[in-house]
Amino acid sequence: MANKPMLPELMKTHGVSRRAFMKYCASLTSLMALSPALVPRVAHALETAMRPSVIWLSFQECTGCTESITRSHAPTLEDLIFNSVSLDYHHTLQAASGHAAEAAREQAMKDNYGKYLLIVDGSIPLDNPGYSCIAGISNLDMLKETAAGAAAIVAIGTCAAYGGIPHANPNPTGAVSVSDIIKDKPIINVPGCPPIPVVMTGVLAHFLTFGIPELDELGRPKAFYGESIHDRCYRRPFYDKGKFAETFDDEGARAGWCLYKLGCKGPTTHSACATVKWNNGVSFPIEAGHPCLGCTEPDFWDNGGFYKPLSVPSGDYRKMGVAAVVGGAAVGVASALLAKAGKAKAVQNHETVDAHDLEKSS
């Protein structure tokens, strides 16, 4: 199915007008966070792009990422993007099962060797390959095998990108991310738990039109992960004015004040939630009154507690403080007693000063 119909053909068969294509290109450009001046280039790229084969592998995951990307029912941008690719293997979505499913994957790999796009969600267990297998093949083997012929890999969701929840302490399966295993392929990380659907499609659109987007040091497309939630947050003015919700049901919470003190990780979290938002742009967690968990960041699960402000130490420091008081006092008493003993000795050794022995004998 790959390399055949291109997007304009698809649109024509759906009875979509050129004006609609213009609207689509404009919105897509906005979605990819590109300048409106690039709309013609996006249009041209879409008109000429080949329809790529996509293999989607799901490892230690919860299917939340797939849920997220398939959430919209209306013919939206996401649909169009997905219609422009050939999803040849996705064990949750595909109709085929068992040997037929695996055969589809192998066929797609063979037909498109070196050209297909590999999408991965979920982490890969290293402690014991048996922890997670598909069709008797361990995740590790399947990833290595499938990655070998991929043009590029998109690690969808925090698990695939950074290990995610399976990787959280104490990481019983020895879960790692795609980039921990595959070193010789371009990897685009699209973290989030799950990622925003339009971000996933935006990344795919970018890959289809302009290839690999510009990535940050954590392998994330800068267009969507370039800025922190905090910098783009509509509640930021309250942070700057020093107005904070103290509990989830106080005046500040009702008035929509900053959620920093309720543990918001916005300042250290890079994601487009605050601008792109969720559920077709309806809202995002902070707008719904909940602090950001920081799910697009590595090890977000181990960041010291979701409701602990960033500035609050994550450990049980009170115990440490009490121990320090006791320890400090003990050492202090010992040291002081030593000093006092020295002084007592000095008092004992006091040689009475007489007016006639104030001069040195020598």
Partner 1 sequence: MNNPAFDLLMWARGPGFDIALAIFIGGIVLRLTEIIILGRKKDMAPAKGNGFLQGLKTIFSRSVPRKGLIKFAPVTYLGGYIFHLGFFIAFFFFAPHIALIQDAFGISWPAAGRVIIESVTALAVLAVVALTYSRLTDPVRKSLTTFDDYLVLLLSVLPLITGYVAVNKLFGDPTMMLAVHLLSVEALMIAFPFTKLMHAVSFVFARYYNGSIQGRKGAES
Partner 2 sequence: MSATLERGLNALREQIDAPVASFFTSCVSCGLCAEACLFYRETEDPQYTPIKKLDLMRRMWSREFTLLGRIGGWLGLTKPITDADLTAWEPLVYDSCTMCGRCTLVCPVGNDLTMMIRKMREGMSASGHGPVELIGAAQRHIDGNSAMGDLSKAIHAQVKNAVADTGIEIEFDKPGVDYMVILSAQEIAEFPDVLGAMARIFKKAGVTWTISSEAFEATNVGIQIGSRDIARTLVQRLVDAAEKLGVKGVISPECGHAYQALRWEGPNLIGRAYNFEVIHIIELLDQLRAQGKLKTKGMNTQKLTFHDPCQINRRGGINKEPRRLMNMVAENFVETEDAGTMNWCCGGGGGVGANERAAPLRNIAFKRKKAQIDKVNPDAIVTMCAYCHHTLDNVLEEFNMDLEVMGLTELVAEYLDDDA
Partner 3 sequence: MDCKHSSAKDSPEKDDVFSFVTTGNAIPFLHEIKHALEHLLKTGTESVIDLGAIPFAPGDERILEEILGQGEVDATLTIMGQSHVRETAIPGVWRVDHLDTNGAFQSRFIEITFLPNILKTQPEDAERGLATLVEHLGAIESIGKPQGDT
Contact 216, 225 (CB under 8 A): yes
Task: Quote the distance between the C-alpha of residue 48 and its chain's center.
Answer: 32
Out of partner 1, partner 2, partner 3, none, what residue 36 binds, judged by CB under 5 to 8 A for its kind, is partner 3
193 is in an annotated binding site: yes
d(CA 125, CA 71): 28
Out of partner 1, partner 2, partner 3, none, what residue 180 binds, judged by CB under 5 to 8 A for its kind, is partner 1
Contact 159, 57 (CB under 8 A): no
Smaller CB distance to partner 1: residue 112 or 158?
158
Edge-to-edge strands, sheet with 116-121: 86-90, 53-58, 116-121, 150-156, 187-190
Smaller CB distance to partner 2: residue 37 or 347?
347
Contact 311, 267 (CB under 8 A): no
d(CA 324, CA 344): 29
Q: Considering only 26-34, 63-71, 257-265, 275-283, which stretch makes contact with partner 1 by CB under 8 A?
A: 257-265
Report, in Å, the least distance between residue 339 CB and partner 2: 4
Under the criterion CB under 8 A, does residue 188 sit at the interface with partner 1?
Answer: no
Which string of DSSP letters, residue by residue, matches 318-337? Answer: HHHHHHHHHHHHHHHHHHHH
Burial 94-110 (b: 16+ CB within 10 A, else e): eeeeeeebbebbeebbe
Under the criterion CB under 8 A, does residue 357 sit at the interface with partner 2?
Answer: yes
133 is in an annotated binding site: no
Report, in Å, the least distance between residue 43 CB and partner 1: 35
Report, in Å, the least distance between residue 351 CB and partner 2: 5
Q: State which of positions 295-334 bind partner 2 (CB under 8 A).
A: 331-332
Smaller CB distance to partner 2: residue 319 or 350?
350
Interacting residues toward partner 3 by CB under 8 A: 16-20, 22-24, 26-27, 29-31, 33, 35-37, 39, 74-77, 231-232, 234, 236-238, 248-249, 254-256, 274-276, 280-282, 288-289
Q: Considering only 76-84, 91-99, 131-139, 326-334, which stretch makes contact with partner 1 by CB under 8 A?
A: 326-334
Residue from 1, 103, 135, 323 touching partner 1 (CB under 8 A): that is 323
Apex CA 78: angle with CA 50 and CA 61, to 5°?
100
Out of partner 2, partner 1, partner 3, none, what residue 325 binds, judged by CB under 5 to 8 A for its kind, is partner 1
Residues 6+ apart with CB under 8 A from 66: 56, 58, 90, 92, 93, 121
Which string of DSSP letters, residue by residue, matches 79-147? Answer: HHHHHTSEEEEETTT-S--HHHHHHHHHHHHHHTTTTEEEEEESBEE-S-GGGSEETTEEHHHHHHHHH
Name the residue with tokens 């996401």.
78
Smaller CB distance to partner 1: residue 163 or 285?
163
Under the criterion CB under 8 A, does residue 184 sit at the interface with partner 2?
Answer: no
Name the residue with tokens 């294509």.
21
Smaller CB distance to partner 2: residue 322 or 336?
336
258 is in an annotated binding site: yes
Footprint on this chain of partner 1 (rule: CB under 8 A): 161-163, 176-177, 179-180, 189, 217-219, 228, 231, 239-244, 246, 258, 260-261, 267-268, 297-299, 302-304, 308-315, 317-318, 320-321, 323-325, 327-329, 331-333, 335-337, 339-340, 343
Footprint on this chain of partner 2 (rule: CB under 8 A): 331-332, 335, 338-339, 342-343, 346-347, 349-361
